[in-house]
């Protein structure tokens, strides 16, 4: 095996990541009823840190108790419970691991059982999903207030001992919504041309950088594309990445898709901006979903990249790094089912990640005739999410991975557990 994945990588700010493997952010759902970090969350990150990754990025840390991506999100509004944050940070920073906090606002993708009227750039509801209410358009004062919240939480993360932060600008959450002309229909300085639609992201990056200083890693998770006609496109993404590079962002995590088009889960039937299949033959051979876009970025930008989504084989990971397509390999679902996988990869005791058969679990007899139906594809995708989220919770509780669990059962536990957690929440 080549040692390319074992090599350290130094970010523009001067911080070095010990190897080329990063845990991509995944929602954990392990906060307590007051939205605080728990021993279960610390146990989970300690296991991931001991698993060998050079970088761990947390799941969504929310900046407002009123708006969550799901019940069980950690929420930070001030320095209350700084001791709990410090314990969480230390658990993930073991084994010389970089432990970064992902800072996020869900925007219109906050479920209706948490917020009946979520916030968004414009009052455009999430299509396809009944769980989200019609959002209210943000006032300009509220926009500045959220930027201030991002910066405040970044400063608290640094004070608590996290070694970096990431702004979540992908997957249809609030920053991503501002970037999309389908969702952002504003006519003021925050909408219209791409320069205006990107203003919220760029102002947030500037505020975060001012809060943490020049030698602290600041990352952005960004869609390569929303994979919807008329939405945030590949061309838009390349332009925004150029602007982020000028702002001194240390790492771009490249992903794609939203709740309406789940490219982040390689949902069957996804297409590019033009309507062509999402994965070309060459992309499928390379296995990762977004490497083709990463290659295009390399032609116009030298900003460090972590590509997340679809990496499953040692050969694919090594080729992507050695060919300069990406600097870091982002691993999500593989680490929710095999937390020690990075150590196996680095030791050469690995060929291909194990995956669960989602179609089999949902019943091929029932759904196969309707496999082209968009709602059925969404159901399969959310079954995938549910199964992996339940495994994450099991790890936090000190339990082993349950490979015998049906993803259909996992999905029911995931959504059912979310309702129960929301009922039990005692938020401010």
351: how many CB neighbours lie within 10 A of its CB? 11
The answer on pLDDT for 348 being more than 90 is no
Statement: 4-356 belongs to CATH 3.20.20.70:
yes
The overall average pLDDT reported for the chain is 88
Alpha carbon distance, N-terminus to C-terminus of the chain: 52
Mean pLDDT for 310-321 is 91
Structure tokens at 104: 């996020």
Token pair 């991931």 in the structure block, residue: 48
How far, in Å, CA of 59 to CA of 67, rounded?
15
pLDDT at 329 over 90: yes
Beta strands in 157-223 (DSSP E): 164-169, 218-223
The percent of residues above 90 in pLDDT, for the chain, comes to 68
Q: What's the pLDDT at 135?
A: 96
Q: Is the dihedral of CA 113, 114, 116, 120 positive or negative?
A: negative
Give residue-wise pLDDT tens across range 353-394. 877 766 544 444 444 444 455 556 667 777 888 899 999 999
Torsion sign (Cα): 329, 330, 332, 336: positive
Q: What is the mean pLDDT of residues 275-281?
A: 42
Question: pLDDT-based confidence at 278, cuts 50/70/90?
Answer: very low
* Residue range 167-213, pLDDT digits in tens: 999 999 999 999 999 999 999 999 999 999 999 999 999 999 999 99
Question: What does the pLDDT read at residue 87?
Answer: 98
**Percent of the chain with pLDDT strictly greater than 70:** 86
| pLDDT tens string 56-66 | 999 999 999 99
Give the CA radius of gyration of the chain.
Answer: 20
- Determine which of 83-87, 217-221, 310-314, 373-377 has the lowest per-residue pLDDT on average: 373-377
Confidence (pLDDT) at 369: 43
Reported as a pLDDT band with limits 50, 70 and 90, residue 424 is: confident
Nearest to 293 by CA among 247, 232, 368, 366: 232
Mean pLDDT of 138-160: 98
Q: Model confidence at 104, in pLDDT bands (50, 70, 90)? A: very high
Q: How large is the average pLDDT for residues 252-268?
A: 69
Which phi and psi (to 5°) does residue 9 adopt? -135, 130
Q: Token match 């990445």: residue?
A: 241
Task: Answer whether residue 39 shows pLDDT above 50.
Answer: yes
Q: b/e for 297-310, b at 16 or more Cβ within 10 A?
A: beeebebbbbbbbb
Using one digit for the tens of pLDDT, what is the confidence trace for 107-124? 999 999 999 999 999 999
Predicted confidence band of residue 281 (pLDDT cuts 50, 70, 90): very low
Q: If you count DSSP H runs as helices and E runs as strands, how many of each does the chain have, helices first?
A: 16, 13
DSSP SS3 for 55: strand
Q: How far apart are CA 204 and CA 251, in angstroms?
A: 15
| pLDDT class of 267 with cuts at 50, 70, 90 | very low
* 354: Cα separation from own chain's centroid: 21
Q: Which residue has the higher pLDDT, 243 or 299?
A: 243
- Note the pLDDT of residue 382: 75
Q: Which helix (H) or strand (E) holds 359?
A: helix 358-362
Residue among 390, 306, 331, 283 at smallest CA distance from 24: 331
């Amino acid at each position: 095996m080549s040692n390319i994945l074992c090599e350290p990588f130094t970010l523009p700010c001067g911080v070095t990541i010990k190897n080329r493997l990063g845990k991509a952010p995944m929602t954990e759902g392990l906060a307590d009823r007051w939205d605080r970090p728990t021993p279960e969350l610390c146990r989970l990150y300690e296991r991931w840190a001991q698993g060998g990754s050079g970088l761990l990025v947390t799941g969504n840390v929310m900046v407002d108790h009123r708006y969550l991506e799901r019940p069980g999100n950690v929420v930070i509004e001030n320095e209350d419970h700084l001791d709990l944050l410090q314990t969480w940070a230390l658990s993930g920073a073991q084994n010389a691991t970089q432990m970064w906090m992902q800072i996020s606002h869900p925007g219109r993708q906050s479920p209706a059982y948490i917020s009946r009227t979520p916030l968004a750039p414009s009052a455009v509801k999430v299509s396809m999903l009944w769980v989200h209410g019609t959002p209210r358009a943000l006032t300009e004062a509220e926009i500045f207030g959220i930027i201030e919240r991002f910066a405040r939480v970044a400063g608290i993360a640094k004070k608590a001992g996290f070694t970096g932060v990431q702004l979540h600008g992908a997957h249809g959450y609030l920053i991503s919504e501002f970037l999309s002309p389908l969702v952002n229909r504003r006519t003021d300085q925050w909408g219209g041309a791409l320069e205006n639609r990107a203003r919220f992201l760029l102002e947030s990056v500037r505020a975060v950088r001012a809060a943490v200083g020049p030698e602290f890693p600041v990352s952005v998770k960004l869609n390569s594309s929303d994979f919807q006609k008329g939405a945030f496109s590949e061309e838009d993404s390349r332009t925004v990445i150029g602007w982020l590079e000028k702002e001194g962002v240390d790492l771009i995590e490249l992903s794609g898709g939203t709740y309406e088009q789940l490219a982040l889960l390689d949902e069957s039937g996804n297409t590019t901006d033009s309507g062509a299949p999402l994965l070309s033959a060459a992309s499928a051979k390379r296995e990762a979903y977004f490497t083709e876009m990463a290659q295009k970025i390399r032609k116009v930008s030298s900003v460090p990249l972590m590509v997340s989504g679809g990496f499953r084989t040692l050969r694919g990971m090594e080729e992507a790094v050695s060919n300069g397509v990406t600097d870091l390999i982002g691993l999500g679902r593989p680490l929710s089912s095999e937390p020690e996988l990075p150590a196996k990869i680095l030791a050469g005791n690995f060929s291909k990640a194990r995956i669960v058969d989602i179609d089999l679990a949902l019943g091929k007899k029932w759904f196969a005739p309707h496999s082209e139906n968009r709602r059925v594809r969404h159901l399969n995708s959310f079954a995938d999410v549910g199964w992996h989220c339940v495994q994450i919770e099991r790890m936090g509780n000190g339990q082993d991975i349950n490979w015998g669990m049906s993803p259909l059962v996992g999905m029911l536990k995931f959504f059912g557990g979310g309702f129960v957690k929301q009922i039990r929440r005692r938020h401010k």
